[in-house]
Amino acid sequence: MPANILFAAGDAQWQVYEQPLRTALGRAGITATLATDLPPAEVDYIVYAPGSAVQDFTPFTRARAVLNLWAGVEKITGNPTLHIPLTRMVDHGLTQGMVEWVTGHVLRHHLGMDTHILHQDGVWRPEVPPLAHDRRVSVLGLGQLGSACARMLADLGFATTGWSRRPKQIDGVRCLSGEDGLRTALACADILVLLLPLTPETENLLDARRLALLPQGAVIVNPGRGALIDDAALLAALDSGHLGHATLDVFRIEPLPADHPFWAHPRVTVTPHIASETRPETAAQVIAENIRRGETGEPLLHVVDRSAGY
């Protein structure tokens, strides 16, 4: 019997995902009905994105899994009507995009590129940056994205520290966990990269107290979640000169309002949530693989631990 797959991620996403999903399902040998409108009681799998019109999962009595198109799942994990497995998106296109964005901005700050790009004023500034092994970089969050970025930074020679809630091991990276480990990771971060999921435990993780633990002149690079940082505390630390710069790709409200102080702050770089994006071709392959696994009784990939929030 063909699998019935409901695409519940909005019309705009349907336009870009329909063909890649059909192609990926065919290559995986899956016979399926893929549509945006199916009787709930006949749906086997739900391809989902935050903001979907589907908020009550009770009518989907036959559904085996909800397959999230994005890496972030904080807007669905607490849904009290969801009692079937929820998977998050982990695909190599998204990971590669994040590695490239993070590496580019870490190198930008490490090499002091802004000084030369923004000051073409006839003044000769021969300041030579240190080598990477003399620049300390900490990555908070060692999931799929954080681990990949930490490995790349370590491979480039940076003195790289990683922190996660649970103990991890990554070749070439000093891995820490727990509250003491967090304080250590902050205290040794000339450049701090945030790649944590947003959960009740990580919201406002970087408050005034923790920002004060960073070295004088430290730089923050945040492609994770906007609410990981207390905005007012960040602006105060930048205004005081304790922090040298913040490069921010994610915000509490998106698009970032035109009158938000981040836009005009001389020590803030705003990028419009472009650090990495789910690519339809590669994401479709992950969705198809999980449906294949569901149909053959194999364990699903990237199942969310809802007690942890990711």
Q: 88, 136, 225, 245: which one is catalytic?
A: 225
- Which of 196, 304, 169 lies closest to 250 in space, CA to CA? 196
Q: Is the pLDDT of residue 263 over 90?
A: yes
Q: Is the pLDDT of residue 35 over 90?
A: yes
- Which of 178, 243, 194, 174 lies closest to 214 in space, CA to CA? 243
CATH homologous superfamily for the domain 3-91+278-296: NAD(P)-binding Rossmann-like Domain (3.40.50.720)
Instruction: Give domain limits for the chain.
Output: 3-91+278-296, 93-270
What the block records as the tokens of 102 is 């993070």
Q: What does the pLDDT look like over 118-163, one tens digit per residue?
A: 888 999 999 999 999 999 999 999 999 999 999 999 999 999 999 9
Q: Which CATH class is domain 93-270?
A: alpha beta
Q: 174, 210, 260, 273: which one is catalytic?
A: 273
State yes or no: is 116 an active-site residue.
no
State yes or no: is 273 an active-site residue.
yes
User: Which strand ranges, in their side-by-side order, compose the sheet holding 174-177?
Assistant: 174-177, 159-164, 136-140, 191-194, 218-222, 243-248, 268-270
Domains 3-91+278-296 and 93-270 share a fold: yes
Q: What does the pLDDT look like over 94-123, one tens digit per residue?
A: 999 999 999 999 999 999 999 988 888 999
Average pLDDT over residues 1-25: 96
**pLDDT confidence band for 290 (50 / 70 / 90):** very high
**Cβ-contact 101, 122 below 8 angstroms:** no
Q: What stretches of 190-243 show up as alpha helix (H) in DSSP?
A: 208-211, 231-240
